[in-house]
A = this chain, B = another copy of it.
Amino acid sequence: MSLVVQKFGGSSVADAESIKRVARRIVDTRKAGNQVCVVVSAMGDTTDELHDLAAAVSPAPPQRELDMLLTAGERISAALLSMAIDSLGDSARSFTGSQAGVITDDVHGKARIIDITPGRIREALDANHIVIVAGFQGVSQSTKEITTLGRGASDTTAVALAAALGADVCEIYTDVDGIFTADPRIVPTARKIDRISNEEMQELAASGAKILMLRCVEYARRFGVPIHVRSSFSHHEGTWVVDNESARNQQGEEGVEDPIIAGVAHDRGDAKVTIVGVKDSPGVAAKIFQTIAAAQINIDMIVQNISALDTGLTDVSFTCPMSDGPRAVEVLQAAKESIGYDQLQYDDQVGKLSLVGSGMRSHPGVSATLFQALADNGINIEMISTSEIRVSVVTKDDQLDDAVRAVHTAFGLDDADGQAVVYGGTGR
């Protein structure tokens, strides 16, 4: 008997009808001879509504209380889903994150899972119940307080539970058919990916692909949990996110050569800060990024120009989340004397395109093809950064969509028959 972990997001359980539909799907999986453990998000807009209520009573609600409040959302959907399964004649038990043994650190609002002790879950599964776990929440190991894992972290709950239970697969249900070679709302010819390595998925998620949370993919990779991303509206196979070995084997069996490129991700969530006229001497960069780090701002890309020979001055640019941009400027201005620079430039009209594929390791020339495709379409590159299996470029925001389409075509990712795929996602 297989053990399947299934995760359903808020849009899959938005109302009573949806909950009943999901319940039927879960019961089908159980009837097919599997043990089933389900992780569920809060219904539809519940989390937003609870945030609104919080805002109505307090301008800055304490994070501990916010966690207490928000976790009610998943408790409600988990209990309702369990009832709906019961009314289909099967037997289900719902559990809060705390009851399910989701042990976290004590950082309210964005706690990290540090352990899973699924004793009660295992017991309920062994007693032939379907188990429903409230996603997104846990209990702090040190303070015993209720914590949340941050928005969208029900995926992580599901993968962590799958790892702890030794599940055969973690199915992430969503409103699209799987993971695509690019966002189909920008690239209508994007293809659904049948199988992708978790290494590539990790890069795509880190580069702005919204369909899976980065932390969820990291967790799956670390613990070797196969993820199956699929639609809750159809029974089609979706996208399997598997380890590198499995990704290659499967493709080998089909007699298809490894694709060089898995997909193109894009991200409009960053801003670019440029520090002009910095002295090109040891310790200056350290000073800049210590200042930024002290303000708890995460940096994405960093570029330093070669210094002008006559002045010994250089420019340093970096990108950071747009929401942190104004604060980055503020702390750099406050440190102007100690760092020493001419001026600051701030630009939040930028976008990032990332090309991801493990085939890059063995195929030189990927960057060249990328830059040529952009050049052919008149798109200027403002920054470049690379990893072993990724090349990212920053462009003007209003050129980003053109850039994604151009690169998608240049790497032969377009769907053979040029058909637009069905895509109902809500990602950016």
Contact = CB atoms under 8 A, between A and B. Distances in A.
Interface string A42-74: 000000001001101111111011101101110
25 contacts: A19-B57, A20-B57, A50-B76, A53-B76, A54-B83, A57-B80, A57-B81, A57-B83, A58-B83, A58-B86, A59-B87, A62-B82, A62-B83, A65-B80, A65-B82, A65-B83, A65-B86, A66-B83, A68-B82, A69-B80, A72-B73, A72-B76, A72-B79, A75-B75, A99-B144
A16 B93 CA distance: 33
Nearest to A81: B57
Interface in A78-92: 78-84, 86-87, 92
Nearest to A68: B79
Copies of the protein in its oligomer = 2
A197 interface: no
Contacts of A23: 57
Contact of A69 (B20, B75, B120): B75
Interface in A89-108: 92-94, 96, 99
Contacts of A79: 54, 65-66, 68-69, 72
Contacts of A56: 16
A35 B83 CA distance: 41
What are the 4 tightest A-B residue pairs by CB atom distance, in nearest-first order?
A16-B56, A69-B79, A58-B87, A68-B79
Contact of A78 (B53, B68, B99): B68
A92 B82 CA distance: 33
Contacts of A120: 144
A78 B71 CA distance: 13
Contact of A86 (B19, B61, B71, B83): B61
A87 B56 CA distance: 11
A62 B86 CA distance: 7
A9 B54 CA distance: 19
B84 A57 contact: yes
A227 to B, nearest CB: 28
B65 A87 contact: no
A84 B54 CA distance: 8
Which of A58, A64, A79, A80: most chain B Cβ within 10 A? A79
Interface of A: 16, 19-20, 23, 50, 53-54, 56-62, 64-66, 68-69, 71-73, 75-76, 78-84, 86-87, 92-94, 96, 99, 120, 144, 146
Nearest to A139: B99
Nearest to A20: B57
A84 B58 contact: yes
A69 B76 contact: yes
Contacts of A68: 75, 78-79, 82, 94, 96
Contacts of A16: 53, 56-57
A86 B87 CA distance: 42
A19 B75 CA distance: 22
A94 B75 contact: no
Nearest to A70: B79
A82 B64 CA distance: 10
A50 to B, nearest CB: 7
A80 B60 contact: no
